[in-house]
Amino acid sequence: MPMIRVEMFAGRTPEMKRALAQELTDAFTRVTGVSADSVSLVFTDVDKGDWAQAGRLYSDPASD
């Protein structure tokens, strides 16, 4: 029943998500000994216009 969530910028290909699901689950089971069958993983795509750092949206050009 462990649940892994990954929030990242939108635009990753299905191939990359497939590899991430496999590799992250592998890493989790290798470290914890939990069965892979019980591991869920959800990706959440976030647009650059919905993500900010230091109060600036990633969709906005840096001012310097």
Query: What are the residue numbers of the active site?
Result: 2
- Residue 23-62 contact track with its own copies, rule CB under 8 A, x = bound: xxxxxx-xxx-x-xxxxxxxxxxx--xxxxxxxxxxxx--
CB of residue 64 to its own copies, shortest distance in Å: 13
Residue (6 or 64) nearer to its own copies, CB: 6
Residue (5 or 64) nearer to its own copies, CB: 5
User: What residues contact residue 4 under an 8 Å CB cut-off, 6+ apart?
Assistant: 24, 25, 28, 39, 40, 41, 42
What CA–CA distance (Å, rounded) separates 30 from 36? Answer: 9
Fill in the DSSP letter of residue 15: H
What CA–CA distance (Å, rounded) separates 12 from 44? Answer: 11
Residues binding its own copies (CB under 8 A): 1-9, 12, 14, 16-28, 30-32, 34, 36-46, 49-60
